[in-house]
Structure 1
Amino acid sequence: MIPVQAWQDARIVWDHHQMHHVPKPCSVAVGLGSHDLSVATTAAEAFGAGLVPLIVFTGANSPTTRARFPEGEAVAYREHALALGVPEDAVRVEPEATNTGQNIRYSRELLAAEGVEVSSVLLVSKPYEQRRAYATARKLWPGVEFVCTSAPLELPEYVDGIGDGRLVIDMLVGALQRLMVYPRQGFMIEQDVPEDVLRAYERLCRAGFTSRLVPARARP
């Protein structure tokens, strides 16, 4: 049983991970690979709404996605988007990236190789990865405007979809740690962590929600 205080702290951290951007027309959508097909759904919906003319799905596999998407995350996302009505010529696949930094770098290189001019990117991720994706993209792709979006889910809905509340809180804690550690390693821009968010994070760490914390020199 997860204590009430832990859920309250998790909601504070969850809200901090949201950038609260309003989706608007962009040069391209970049969907970051993961276990979560809602990323592909959200990108497909953005295309259908006329917000982007082109989608790049990026991602190879991780230990948590290899069984579910043996063909790779980006390939699975592409197939899902096509099934939702996105035409084949509007989707590009970047199948090699294994972390957020590579997602951004490899997507940028793919678009440059095709001669696609990019002034703005609709950055599509899991809900709790918005801020991390934004901070990484700002570091690695200067001169471009980034608009973050994800499936419009609240924390209880997301937990229901995953089916493991402790795992979700562990992931929230791990994502926040990266926001604090990675800027010092040059992987992303620095962002302020409000005091109430930091206190919630520390309480969750003391309560044992630490399985997704990374060593100080881990990759992004």
Structure 2
Amino acid sequence: MNPITGADRTDARILWDFSVLKQPVRPCSAALALGGCDIGVAAAAAALHRSRMFPVVVFSGGIMPGTRGRFPRGEAVHFRERAVALGVPEEVALLEPHATNTGENISFGRKVLTGDGRTVHSVLLISMPYMQRRAYATCRKQWPEVDPVCASQPVSFDEYAEEQDDEAEFIAMMMGDTHRVMEYPRRGFAIEQEVPEHVRDAFERLRKRGYDTWLLPD
């Protein structure tokens, strides 16, 4: 991988702006915090709980090859512990430690939330910022009865990029999410969403520059 250029960041910012939905956050029946490589999801969940945006939250995510070194006991376990340390009461912080992808985050999390008879009309999906559109599309497919609202830590692309240990890997992971938004509808994993031409163009330019390690295989 060559050094990151200004053109790389310009195109990556286009993908970021496409992926971050900027939906108005409102109180929901429950929340679902999706696992990943960014424990900032836990901080977002804690802040949203303080704002009374949900009465109960499920932390979902298993032990994954890409995050095992950082979260050896599983993403959900570490995220939940962090959220509790930040003030989320243990009794409202539920655990789903088996999901290995976004579809399982939704379907397994749904079972935890509804398994005790709880009625869920709306769900607050808490994720990494650039995962919002993918989470929304997956939830609409896997759990069509609920009204999903997406939320993350309030951070800009530049702020988020500066926080990363490996900015090139961050861009490559964002490419992976964008690719799944484009490809998963035809595989039945998510609803179809319009992907503007300028987003597709930015995606292709980044692909040609080598940001392809998290893309789906051909």
Does TM, normalized by the shorter one, top 0.5?
yes
Instruction: Find 1:28's aligned residue among 27, 30, 51.
Output: 30
Q: CA deviation at 1:143?
A: 1.6
Q: Give the aligned partner of residue 124 of structure 1.
A: 126
Deviates more, 1:131-140 or 1:171-180: 171-180
Structure 2: which amino acid aligns with 1:26? C
Structure 2: which amino acid aligns with 1:121? V
Q: Give the aligned partner of residue 61 of structure 1.
A: 63
Mapped to 2, the partners of 1:86 and 1:177 lie a distance apart of 34
Mapped to 2, the partners of 1:204 and 1:81 lie a distance apart of 35
Q: Deviations over 1:10-68 (max 9, x none)?
A: 10011000111011000111000112111111111111111111111000021121122
Alignment of 1:1-220 (within 5 A): 1-216=3-218
Q: Which runs of 5+ in 2 are unaligned?
A: none
Mapped to 2, the partners of 1:7 and 1:82 lie a distance apart of 35
Q: CA deviation at 1:158?
A: 1.3
SS at structure 2 position matched to 1:75: helix
RMSD: 1.0
Structure 2: which amino acid aligns with 1:112? T
Q: Which runs of 5+ in 1 are unaligned?
A: none
Mapped to 2, the partners of 1:74 and 1:110 lie a distance apart of 13
SS at structure 1 position matched to 2:69: coil
TM-score of the aligned structures, taking structure 1 as reference length? 0.95
Identity score, percent: 48
Tell me the number of residue pairs that the alignment of Structure 1 and Structure 2 aligns.
Answer: 216
The 4+ residue runs of structure 1 with deviation greater than 3 A are none
Mapped to 2, the partners of 1:173 and 1:69 lie a distance apart of 23
SS at structure 2 position matched to 1:176: helix
